[in-house]
Amino acid sequence: MGTSSVRPPIEWGAEPAELEEAFAGPKVAIGDELLAALESTGAAIESLPESLAEASRDWWPLAQRWALKGIAPRLPALVVRPDDVGQLAAVLRLANGAGVPVTPAGGRSGVCGGAIPLFGGIALDCRQLAGLYSLDVESLRCEVGAGTFGPVLEEALRQHSVTVGHLPQSMDLATVGGWVACRGAGQYSTRYGKIEDIVAGLEVVLADGRVVRTGALAGAGPRSATGPDLSQLFLGSEGTLGVVTAASLRLHPLASYERRAAFSFPTFSEGLHALRLALAAGACPAVARLYDETETKRSFELDGTNLLIALDEGEPAICDAAMDVLAAKAAERGGEATDEALVARWLERRNDTSALAPLTRAGIVVDTIEVSAHWAALAPLADEVRSLLSAVPGSLAASVHESHAYLDGACLYFTFAGRGPDPEDDAWAASYYRSCWDGAMAACRRHGASISHHHGVGLLRGPYMRDALGEGFAVLAALKAALDPNGILNPGKLGLSSPFGRAGGPLWREG
């Protein structure tokens, strides 16, 4: 067991002076009295410098840039790892009573800074709350701990010939609680849905330690008319309204049949139109991904074309019908069938992010921006955002692909990269980064698009939340005040105000 973070002092990864402006507000430490009370809960507690540094960041590109320099953007005072819901509830009661911020986290695979303990305090590691608690194959339901990693869950389910069907790129790094916290999307979402479609109920611990069970975990059936769906209240709340400890998930029979196809389009717009027509006709292939010319060249080494790859799985008759409809609609919009082995190429590389670290080490600022819009807005939005990103001084690349499609619209996933005169200049990197995001978010608002599809908000998108939600932002703030009146849960995230200070400085700003 570790000791209080105030003894001994941290030497590795201390917050450097040049980042002080970025982390406005005091860092909350843990006194000996509270430390003793936390130890009495039975939860494991660590304060070794390495543990604090590990718990201080997620996969947000700016945080990764700092990590490569041995810098921790803001260290927690302690890492607390409860073994069960009772311990977690006790930890929250103590933190709430002492007014100490708590930053919940699982695998910390998020890319928006949501796991950064902005004001110090407690980093709450929920990974011990793991396991497949129950399984009802007949009803296609399971209950699983929030700390369970995706591959572990899928392995357990596939032994019973069922699957969640939720396969995000971060599969190896993310936990079920992380899926829920950020309203995540898997790569097969066009058939199986996003996580908000998969969740049937939640177990959530509130700031004062109360345990709330919603939906199927509260005894509800598959559909109910008993007021608002409280599960949806906590989905996407990123630990600001409560800490998710378990989830009831909808399942599907494991597929016994698969079909693949690939199509080449003269323009990105025509590919989007083909997808729209296919979805409108009732075809919902599990995977339907359309790449612009830049990304087709980068990922598939094909010149002068916009590539659509598609895959469906399930009952043969249903899959064949969906893929036949997609092929017909592709032909209507000038798409030509091409080598379906391109789908296998995507499958082999779909979760490979190994290129990111070398780019970051080379001083290149790179990130992705995933948004969603209705079909009528998708092509104009794609054109405008690529143009805006390309025009930011220092930009090296700007591209887009479509990755999740629905009856009324789809997700656009932009990639941008840039480098300044001095690769070590963090001020330039932050300015370039924010310019790219400001331009993209403003374009989304002009086209009536959402500012996030599945990565969530965290710190990164906080400044844009008030404009994105309109009068709804005041409702979100009121919910925060009602459920967490002392503001201890993941303060500074979702653009919400915090009693501990503000998120300001050169990297982000209050909305």
Q: Within 10 A of 227 (CB to CB), how many other CB atoms are there?
A: 6
What one-letter code names the amino acid at 440?
A
The Cα–Cα gap between 182 and 38 comes to 28
Tokens of 447: 């086209």
One DSSP character per residue, 22-48 reads TS-SPPB---HHHHHHHHHTT-EEE--
Tell me the pLDDT tens digit for each residue of 166-198.
Answer: 999 999 999 999 999 999 999 999 999 999 999
Q: Where are the alpha helices (DSSP H) in 288-374?
A: 293-300, 316-332, 341-349, 356-361
pLDDT over 70 percentage in the chain: 93
pTM beyond 0.95: the answer is no
pLDDT of 15 reads 46
The Cα–Cα gap between 434 and 437 comes to 5
For tokens 């199986």, what's the residue?
192
Residue 20 pLDDT > 90? no
The Cα–Cα gap between 178 and 403 comes to 20
pLDDT of 510 reads 41
One DSSP character per residue, 378-438 reads HHHHHHHHHHHHHHSTTEEEEEEEEEEE-SSEEEEEEEEEE--SSTT-HHHHHHHHHHHHH
Residue 141 pLDDT > 70? yes
Residue 421 pLDDT > 80? yes
Which has the minimum average pLDDT: 122-126, 309-313, 428-432?
428-432
Task: Give me the domains of the chain, ranges plus CATH numbers.
Answer: 17-125 (3.30.43.10), 132-220+227-253 (3.30.465.10), 258-349 (3.30.70.3450), 356-457 (3.30.300.330)
* N-term to C-term CA, the chain: 40
Tell me the pLDDT tens digit for each residue of 244-286.
Answer: 999 999 999 999 999 999 999 999 999 999 999 999 999 999 9
Task: For residue 13, count CB atoms less than 10 angstroms from its CB and return exposed for 0-12, middle for 13-18, buried for 19 or more.
Answer: buried
Tokens of 459: 């710190």
Tokens of 505: 């400085």
Taking 3-state DSSP, the helix, strand and coil percentages for the chain, each rounded to the nearest 5, stand at 35, 20, 45
pLDDT of 24 reads 54
pLDDT of 9 reads 28
One DSSP character per residue, 175-196 reads BHHHHHHTT---TTHHHH--HH
Task: For residue 301, count CB atoms less than 10 angstroms from its CB and return exposed for 0-12, middle for 13-18, buried for 19 or more.
Answer: exposed
What one-letter code names the amino acid at 37?
A
Residue 350 pLDDT > 60? yes
For tokens 């928006």, what's the residue?
112
The Cα–Cα gap between 128 and 369 comes to 31
> To 5 degrees, how large is the angle CA 282–CA 286–CA 289?
100
Angle of helix 426-446 versus helix 375-391 axis, rounded to 10: 150
Mean predicted confidence (pLDDT) in 102-109: 96
User: Which DSSP letter does residue 350 get?
Assistant: T
Mean predicted confidence (pLDDT) in 295-317: 97
Residue 125 pLDDT > 90? yes
* Cβ contact 104:489 at 8 Å: yes
In residues, how long is the chain? 511
Tell me the pLDDT tens digit for each residue of 311-345.
Answer: 999 999 999 999 999 999 999 999 999 999 999 99
Torsion angle in degrees (nearest 10) through CA of 373, 389, 333, 371: -20
The Cα–Cα gap between 401 and 265 comes to 13
Tokens of 240: 């600001």
* Cβ contact 144:157 at 8 Å: no
Q: Where are the beta strands (DSSP E) in 266-320?
A: 287-291, 306-313
pLDDT of 186 reads 95
What one-letter code names the amino acid at 148?
T
pLDDT of 231 reads 97
- Check residues 132 and 6 and name the one with the higher pLDDT: 132
* Cβ contact 139:200 at 8 Å: no
Q: Within 10 A of 304 (CB to CB), how many other CB atoms are there?
A: 9
Angstrom CA distances, 502 to 72, 77, 156, 497, stand at 19, 19, 43, 7
Cβ-Cβ contacts under 8 Å for 219 (sequence gap 6 or more):
none
Angstrom CA distances, 173 to 134, 214, 409, stand at 23, 26, 28
Residue 377 pLDDT > 60? yes
* Cβ contact 25:501 at 8 Å: yes
Q: Is the dihedral of CA 453, 457, 461, 462 positive or negative?
A: positive
